[in-house]
Amino acid sequence: QQPVQSPQAVILREGEDAVINCSSSKALYSVHWYRQKHGEAPVFLMILLKGGEQKGHEKISASFNEKKQQSSLYLTASQLSYSGTYFCGTDEWGANNLFFGTGTRLTVIP
């Protein structure tokens, strides 16, 4: 089942923070986060496997709630290079077959 991703779009000034949410109606095996710039392929950011897990990647981090149904991506002190569309991909059975959300378009302006 396709996860619900929110917000659909967000505009930030450099240095501001953003949170992107990804929700499923059922418990998940894992959640993947990817960033895609216009005209390019998605690029992996991080994967969360355990309930309650939190992971960081420079100024981008993510959490996976205890019930393993919701994940959030946190972008802090945003930079111009953070602009792009962020997708969560959910794995329901551990087969690594992902259902992707419809994406969150993030625009960072000077």
Asked if 104 and 56 count as a contact pair (C-beta separation under 8 A), the reply is: no
Cis check for the bond before 7: say yes or no (omega within 30 of 0): yes
If one asks whether residue 6 binds other proteins (CB under 8 A), the answer comes out as no
- Cβ(83)–Cβ(59) below 8 Å: no
32 binds other proteins, rule: CB under 8 A: yes
| Selected range binding other proteins among 53-61, 62-70, 71-79, 97-105, rule: CB under 8 A | 97-105
**Judged by CB under 8 A, which of 7, 29, 51, 77 binds other proteins?**
29
C-beta closer to other proteins: residue 61 or 102: 102
